Amino acid sequence: MSSPICDGPAPRSGGSYRAGMETAAEIFLLLTNDDGGQASWGTQTGWALSAATIADLLIEERVVLEEGNDPRVHVIDATPTGRAVLDKEVLSRIVEKEGKKLSTLVQDRKLNPEAEVVQALVGRGVVDVVPARLLGLISAKRPTLDPLPEREVRERLRAVLVGGRPSGTDATLLAILQGLGVAKKVLKAESEGMSAKELKRRVEEASSEVAVGVAIKRAIESLNAAILAAVIVPTIIAGAGAS
C-alpha cells in the first residue's frame, strides 16, 4: 500500500471549520436554483455531494488517501464527527467500503448525503421543503428562505477567481464544479470577464495555492480526477452503445 496522505486538518476561511457549513451543503446551494428546483445537472449533483463529503471527512481527519491518480481511501478514525451530514450514513458507509478507490466512492449512490444536507439546511432556516405533488409528477422542491449563506459562498469564490488566496474548502468547491464541467455556468456572475479557459486555469492555480498542506492539495486534485472520470466514462459507454 502506498503511503497515505495525511498532514493535519485545515481551518475554513473566516473561522474554525466547525463554525461553517459542510462543503456538501455549500455545493448543494450552488447547484440548486433559488426556487428550489434542481438545475439540469442530473446525477452529477450526487457525485458532487459525495465528493464534497469525502473532502470534509479528510479535513475532519477521519480518512486519508493513498498517493496516486485514483487513490484508495482508508479510514483512520471511525468516531462520529458531531456533524449529522457526515455521521448519519456516510461515515459508516465509508467504513464498509474501506480501501475502495476514490472514483468508486464518488459514484456510490449510498454515499450521496443529499437527504442529510437538506435536513441540515432546513434546520438552519436556509431552505424549505415543498413535497412532491400529483403522485410525484411534480418533483419536490427546496426553495431558498435565507439567501445569505449562498451569497457568502459565491463572494468567497469570486474573490478567489480574481486572485484572492483560497481556503481548502474554496479550492475544493471550485475543483468539483470544474470536474463536473459546470463551473462557468454555475459561477457565471462570479467569473464575468473570464473565458472558460481562463476560469479553468484559475481553478487549477487555486488548488496549488491553498495554505492547508500537501494532503488537501492532493485530495483536491484526486477529487477532480474522480469526478471527471464519473462524468466521462458513462458518456463514452452510452456513445459506444448507440454506435
Where do the structural domains in the chain lie, given as residue ranges? 20-236
Spell out the residues 6+ positions from residue 34 whose beta carbon is closer than 8 angstroms to its own.
143, 144, 147
Contact indicator for 62, 69 with CB cutoff of 8 Å:
no
Contacts of 158 (CB under 8 A, 6+ apart): 187, 189, 190
For residues 213 and 8, the answer to whether their CB atoms sit within 8 Å is yes
Mean pLDDT in residue range 209-237: 57
Superfamily of domain 20-236: yeast vps74-n-term truncation variant domain like (1.10.3630.10)
Angle at 45 between CA 40 and CA 162, to 5 degrees: 90
What pTM does this model have?
0.79
Cα angle 165, 31, 59 (rounded to 5 degrees) comes to 45
Largest Cα separation within the chain, whole Å, is 53
> Are the CB atoms for 139 and 37 separated by under 8 Å?
yes
Tens of pLDDT, residue by residue over 22-47, are 899 999 999 988 776 666 555 578 88
CA distance 128 to 143: 6
For the segment 62-101, what is each residue's pLDDT rounded down to a tens digit? 998 888 777 899 999 999 988 888 887 888 899 999 999 8
